[in-house]
Amino acid sequence: GENVEQHPSTLSVQEGDSAVIKCTYSDSASNYFPWYKQELGKRPQLIIDIRSNVGEKKDQRIAVTLNKTAKHFSLHITETQPEDSAVYFCAASISGTASKLTFGTGTRLQVTL
Amino acid sequence: GAVVSQHPSWVICKSGTSVKIECRSLDFQATTMFWYRQFPKQSLMLMATSNEGSKATYEQGVEKDKFLINHASLTLSTLTVTSAHPEDSSFYICSATDRVRGSNQPQHFGDGTRLSIL
């Protein structure tokens, strides 16, 4: 089955700096890659996603890049703010979004003042 | 739109008790619902995929006789943890996909149920 690795496990940045989280996946058939933000005790919230026919997608301060050849994708957050502090999970899915998601191990992002 | 309601949000009960968790799609029909388990400071692990009107598909290592899943309608799936023990204490989260919008839509997550077995 699919295996998703995520790095780093913790990340501390100063407010205003950029944060980058990287994930690799094992199954070349995976074609949908969402990123979720989860605050303590709450549901995961989709912040951005990308499909395998696109190399990059951007939404304001958040961007995701996908390298299908290398089987890795990354989340980029620019101009970080304290409210960006949370745990971020990448995930991968085969055959579209109705299929099960395999999650990465998570990155705890701390944005300091 | 696309709201998934999960109930209860928190359960504390004695060892040996069976606990039922409900997952409802409030404003859409969900052909498929997923049940995840998340231990403290860990990732979400898929337990099973629940399809309306058919048996659930369980992930390897998940005991289907212990974690009973019923998806009797397009808006409701239930997870029953039978004879729960302290090691079953975890955060259980469901998600659902919109049947009408098709397979190109994100999964919508419920708020989760924190289960504590004493």
- DSSP calls for B48-72: EEEETTSPPEEPTT--TTTEEEEEE
Chain A hits for B45, Cβ within 8 Å = 103
Strands B10-13 and B113-117: parallel
Interchain CB distance below 8 Å, A100 and B103 = no
Q: What is the pLDDT of residue B101?
A: 65
pLDDT of residue A29 exceeding 70, the answer is: yes
Interchain CB distance below 8 Å, B106 and A105 = no
User: What pLDDT digit, counting tens, does each position of B62-72 carry?
Assistant: 999 999 999 88
A41, A97, A104 member nearest B105 (Cβ): A97
Q: Tokens in use for A103?
A: 């999650």
Confirm or reject contact between A21 and chain B (CB < 8 A): no
Confidence of residue A39 (pLDDT cuts 50, 70, 90): very high
Separation CA B68–CA B82 (nearest Å): 7
B105, B107, B114 member nearest A101 (Cβ): B107
Separation CA A94–CA A101 (nearest Å): 8
Q: What is the pLDDT of residue B102?
A: 60
Please report, for residues A80, B79, B94, the alpha-carbon distance to residue B22 in angstroms, rounded to integers and kept in the order given.
Answer: 37, 7, 9
From the list A37, A27, A36, the residue with the least C-alpha distance to A3 is A27
Q: Which of A75-79, B50-54, B84-88 comes out lowest in average pLDDT?
A: B50-54
Q: What is the pLDDT of residue A104?
A: 97
Interchain CB distance below 8 Å, A100 and B46 = yes
Question: Could you tell me what percent of chain B has a pLDDT over 90?
Answer: 72
Interchain CB distance below 8 Å, A89 and B44 = yes
Strands B4-7 and A45-51: unpaired
Q: Tokens in use for A45?
A: 């919230």
Residue B115: closest C-alpha in chain A: A41
If you average pLDDT over every residue of chain B, what do you get? 91
> At which residue do the structure tokens 């598909």 appear?
B57
Please name the residues in contact with B43: beta carbons below 8 A apart, sequence gap of 6 or more.
A89, A103, A104, A105, A106
Interchain CB distance below 8 Å, A43 and B109 = yes
Instruction: Identify whether the C-beta of residue A2 lies closer than 8 Å to the C-beta of residue B45.
Output: no
Among the ranges A1-5, A48-52, A62-66, which has the highest mean pLDDT value?
Answer: A62-66
User: What pLDDT digit, counting tens, does each position of B80-101 carry?
Assistant: 999 999 999 999 999 998 766 6
Question: Could you tell me what percent of chain B has a pLDDT over 70?
Answer: 93
Interchain CB distance below 8 Å, B42 and A98 = no
pLDDT of residue A49 exceeding 90, the answer is: yes
Separation CA A55–CA B32 (nearest Å): 28
Q: Which of A7-11, A38-42, A91-95 comes out lowest in average pLDDT?
A: A91-95
pLDDT of residue A12 exceeding 80, the answer is: yes
Separation CA A48–CA B90 (nearest Å): 27
